[in-house]
C-alpha cells in the first residue's frame, strides 16, 4: 500500500499569483454583458454610445452620434462609433480605453450613465480577445492636430498599450472621438435585443440627441433631435450621513484635510450642521475633537450608530437632473407616434436612508406603441436597459400594477410603459448594468408614478369608448331616418319626404354634436369618480 505524499505549504503556494482586474473580466466577460452573439454586439454599441453621451453633455454640446456596423465575415463585425464631444487628450487615451476601473465618474458622487469605469475598456478587451486585433481611436480636442492611435490592453498589468501613434493635421478644427473595432462571435438582427432597438430607446430618453445608424446592409436610420435644449449638468453631491458605513468613514478620512472629526463631518457630508454634530457627540459619547487620522474601526462604528439615531434633512436634489415630463413626452411622440401619451416626473426620494433618486414614467398608447403588446422600456440615468428584464425592479413594479383597472384589458394592448430611474448611484444587480435591484423605496415610487399615468390613460380610454358608443348610436339612428321619414310622410300625407329626412338628420346631428362639445351627465360623473380615486390611489392601487 503506497503512502500519500504530504505537500509542504511552500510547495502549494508556488502556484499562487495575483490577478488583475482586466484578467478577471477577460475570464468573466459575461459579467460585463458579453454573453450571447446578439447581446455582445448590443453591449459594444451601448458602451461606446454611453461614453459619447456623457462626454457631450459634460462639455455642453448637443450630441451628434454616428454608429456604423458592417459585416466582415461570418459572425464577425466591425463597429465604428463617432461623436462630437470634447475629444480625449493623448496622455489619457491609454487610461480611457485600456485600463479598467479608471475614469472621471466612479470616484464622484454625481449622476452619470457610466459609474464603474469599466465600459469602453471592456469593449476594447472583448474585441482583442475575439479577434486578436487592436482598437483604432481617432480623437481631437479641436486644436491643430488629430491623434490616431491603435491600442491594446495589457491584461496582466491592467494598462493600455499604444501600438502606433500618428499625428494628423486638423485644418477644419474637427472635435470628437471615433472608435473603430472588430469583434467575432456576434450576430446582427432587428429584434428587441439588438443595436437598432437599443438606439431607438436611447433616442426616446435623450431627445436632445441626434443619432445616425447605418446597418450592415447599408440601411441608414436617423433618430433626429426633438428637443433644442441640453440637459442641465448635474452637480457633484456630498454623501448623506444616513447612507454611510464605518468603512465609508475610514475611507473618506484618508482623503480629508480636516484636523478634527467635528470639522470632517461638517465639511465632507451634506445636511450635517454644527448643531447636528452636537447631537452626534451627545449620543455617541465620542471625542469629536480628535484628529480624524486617529479614528479606528470601533470609533467609526460608534459614530455611524449615533448618526443612524438622528434625523437629517433629505439630500439636496441639485445633483439629480431628470429628463423632464415634457421632454419624455416629446421623445415618445417623436419615435412611437402614439395616439395618447402621458408622462410623470415624481418628487425626489431617498433609498438606503440617504441616496437620492427620482422616478420618471410615461405611458404611450396606440400608434407605434406596444406593437407586440404591452412593452416595458426601462432606463437608468437615460440609458436603456435591454437585457435581464425579468430580474429588474422596474419590471416587477410595472407588472404589479392592476392595469385592467385603468382600461388595459390584456397583455396584447398597444401599450408602451416607460420608466427612467435617476440617481447618483443606481443599485444594479451586476456589473453588466442591465437590471436594477429591488429596493423597496424605488419599487413603490415606480408603482405610484405608473398609477398616476394610468389614471390619465383610464380617462382617455373611457372617453374614447364613450365616443365610440355615441358614434354607433348616431349611425344607428341615421340608418333609420329614411324609413322613419317615409312613415311620417305617409301619416301626414306629404309627398315631399326630403324635408322630413333633412329635419330628422339635422336633429340627430345636433344632438350628438352638442353632447360631444359639452359632455353629458355620464362624463361629469366619470370625472368625479376618477378624481376620488386619485386622492386615495397611493394608499392602495
For the segment 309-320, what is each residue's pLDDT rounded down to a tens digit?
A: 999 987 787 788
- Distance CA(367)–CA(352), nearest Å, equals 40
Is 48 annotated to bind a ligand? Reply is no
Residue 233: band (very low, low, confident or very high) from pLDDT cuts 50, 70, 90 = confident
Q: At what angle do helices 440-479 and 521-536 cross, to 10 degrees?
A: 170
Domains 21-223 and 241-308 share a fold: no
- Given a contact cutoff of 8 angstroms between Cβ atoms, the answer to whether 287 and 262 are in contact is no
* Amino acid 485: pLDDT: 78
Helix (H, G, I), strand (E, B) or coil at 357: strand
Residue 517: band (very low, low, confident or very high) from pLDDT cuts 50, 70, 90 = low
| 226: CB partners within 8 A, 6+ apart | 207, 208, 330, 331, 333, 334
Is 404 annotated to bind a ligand? Reply is no
Is 490 annotated to bind a ligand? Reply is no
All three cell numbers of 278, joined, read: 452636537
Is 91 annotated to bind a ligand? Reply is no
DSSP 3: P
Is 282 annotated to bind a ligand? Reply is no
Is 375 annotated to bind a ligand? Reply is no
Does this model's pTM top 0.85? My answer is no
Is 486 annotated to bind a ligand? Reply is no
All three cell numbers of 535, joined, read: 386622492
Is 51 annotated to bind a ligand? Reply is yes
- Distance CA(12)–CA(227), nearest Å, equals 63
Q: Where are the beta strands (DSSP E) in 238-312?
A: none
Is 354 annotated to bind a ligand? Reply is no
- Distance CA(455)–CA(459), nearest Å, equals 6
Is 116 annotated to bind a ligand? Reply is yes
**Mean predicted confidence (pLDDT) in 16-33:** 55
Q: Which CATH number fits domain 241-308: 1.10.600.10, 1.10.8.50, 3.40.50.1360, 3.40.50.720?
A: 1.10.8.50
- Adjacent-strand bridge partners of 135: 151
325-457: what fold?
Answer: Ribosomal Protein S5; domain 2 (3.30.230)
- Given a contact cutoff of 8 angstroms between Cβ atoms, the answer to whether 17 and 156 are in contact is no
For the segment 340-392, what is each residue's pLDDT rounded down to a tens digit?
A: 999 999 988 888 767 889 999 999 999 999 877 889 999 999 999 999 999 99
Is 10 annotated to bind a ligand? Reply is no
Domain boundaries, the chain: 21-223, 241-308, 325-457, 458-539
pLDDT at 525 over 50: no
Is 114 annotated to bind a ligand? Reply is yes
DSSP string, 55-91: HHHHHT---EEEEEEEEEETTEEEEEEEE-S----GG
Q: Which CATH number fits domain 21-223: 2.60.40.10, 3.40.50.300, 3.40.50.360, 3.30.565.10?
A: 3.30.565.10
pLDDT at 118 over 90: no
Is 118 annotated to bind a ligand? Reply is yes
Amino acid at each position: 500500500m503506497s503512502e500519500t505524499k504530504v505537500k509542504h505549504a511552500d510547495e502549494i503556494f508556488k502556484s499562487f499569483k495575483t490577478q488583475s482586474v482586466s484578467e478577471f473580466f477577460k475570464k468573466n466577460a459575461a459579467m460585463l454583458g458579453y454573453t450571447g452573439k446578439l447581446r455582445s454586439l448590443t453591449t459594444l454599441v451601448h458602451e461606446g454610445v454611453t461614453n459619447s453621451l456623457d462626454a457631450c453633455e459634460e462639455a455642453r454640446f448637443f450630441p451628434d452620434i454616428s454608429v456604423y456596423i458592417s459585416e466582415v465575415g461570418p459572425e464577425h463585425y466591425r463597429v465604428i462609433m463617432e461623436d462630437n464631444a470634447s475629444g480625449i487628450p493623448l496622455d489619457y487615451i491609454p487610461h480611457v480605453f485600456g485600463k479598467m476601473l479608471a475614469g472621471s465618474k466612479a470616484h464622484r458622487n454625481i449622476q452619470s450613465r457610466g459609474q464603474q469605469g469599466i465600459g469602453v475598456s471592456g469593449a476594447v478587451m472583448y474585441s482583442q480577445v475575439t479577434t486578436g486585433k487592436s482598437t483604432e481611436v481617432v480623437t481631437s480636442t479641436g486644436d491643430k492636430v488629430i491623434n490616431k492611435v491603435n491600442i491594446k490592453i495589457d491584461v496582466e498589468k491592467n494598462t493600455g498599450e499604444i501600438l502606433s501613434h500618428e499625428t494628423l493635421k486638423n485644418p477644419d478644427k474637427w472635435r470628437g472621438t471615433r472608435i473603430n473595432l472588430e469583434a467575432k462571435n456576434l450576430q446582427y438582427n432587428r429584434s428587441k435585443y439588438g443595436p437598432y432597438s437599443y438606439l431607438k430607446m436611447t433616442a426616446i430618453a435623450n431627445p436632445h440627441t441626434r443619432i445616425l445608424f447605418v446597418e450592415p446592409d447599408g440601411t441608414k436610420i436617423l433618430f433626429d433631435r426633438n428637443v433644442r435644449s441640453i440637459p442641465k449638468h448635474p452637480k457633484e453631491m456630498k454623501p448623506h450621513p444616513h447612507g454611510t458605513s464605518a468603512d465609508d468613514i475610514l475611507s473618506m478620512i484618508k482623503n480629508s484635510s480636516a484636523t478634527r472629526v467635528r470639522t470632517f463631518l461638517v465639511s465632507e457630508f451634506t445636511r450635517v450642521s454644527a448643531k447636528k454634530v452636537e447631537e452626534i457627540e451627545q449620543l455617541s459619547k465620542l471625542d469629536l475633537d480628535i484628529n480624524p487620522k486617529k479614528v479606528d474601526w470601533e470609533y467609526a462604528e460608534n459614530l455611524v450608530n449615533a448618526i443612524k439615531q438622528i434625523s437629517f434633512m433629505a439630500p439636496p436634489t441639485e445633483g439629480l437632473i431628470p429628463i423632464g415630463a415634457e421632454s419624455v413626452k416629446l421623445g415618445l411622440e417623436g419615435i412611437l407616434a402614439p395616439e395618447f401619451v402621458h408622462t410623470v416626473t415624481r418628487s425626489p426620494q431617498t433609498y438606503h436612508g440617504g441616496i437620492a433618486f427620482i422616478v420618471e414614467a410615461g405611458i404611450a398608447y396606440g400608434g407605434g406603441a406596444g406593437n407586440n403588446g404591452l412593452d416595458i422600456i426601462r432606463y437608468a440615468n437615460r440609458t436603456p436597459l435591454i437585457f435581464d428584464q425579468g430580474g429588474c425592479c422596474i419590471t416587477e413594479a410595472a407588472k404589479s400594477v392592476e392595469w385592467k383597472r385603468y382600461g388595459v384589458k390584456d397583455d396584447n394592448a398597444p401599450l408602451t410603459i416607460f420608466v427612467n430611474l435617476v440617481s447618483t448611484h443606481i443599485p444594479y444587480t451586476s456589473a453588466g448594468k442591465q437590471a436594477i435591484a429591488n429596493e423597496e423605496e424605488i419599487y413603490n415610487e415606480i408603482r405610484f408614478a405608473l398609477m398616476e399615468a394610468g389614471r390619465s390613460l383610464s380617462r382617455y380610454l373611457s372617453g374614447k369608448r364613450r365616443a365610440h358608443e355615441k358614434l354607433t348610436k348616431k349611425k344607428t339612428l341615421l340608418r333609420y331616418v329614411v324609413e322613419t321619414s317615409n312613415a311620417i310622410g305617409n301619416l301626414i300625407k306629404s309627398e315631399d319626404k326630403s324635408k322630413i329626412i333633412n329635419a330628422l338628420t339635422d336633429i340627430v346631428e345636433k344632438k350628438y354634436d352638442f353632447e360631444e362639445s359639452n359632455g353629458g351627465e355620464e362624463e361629469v360623473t366619470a370625472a368625479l369618480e376618477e378624481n376620488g380615486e386619485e386622492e386615495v390611489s397611493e394608499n392602495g392601487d
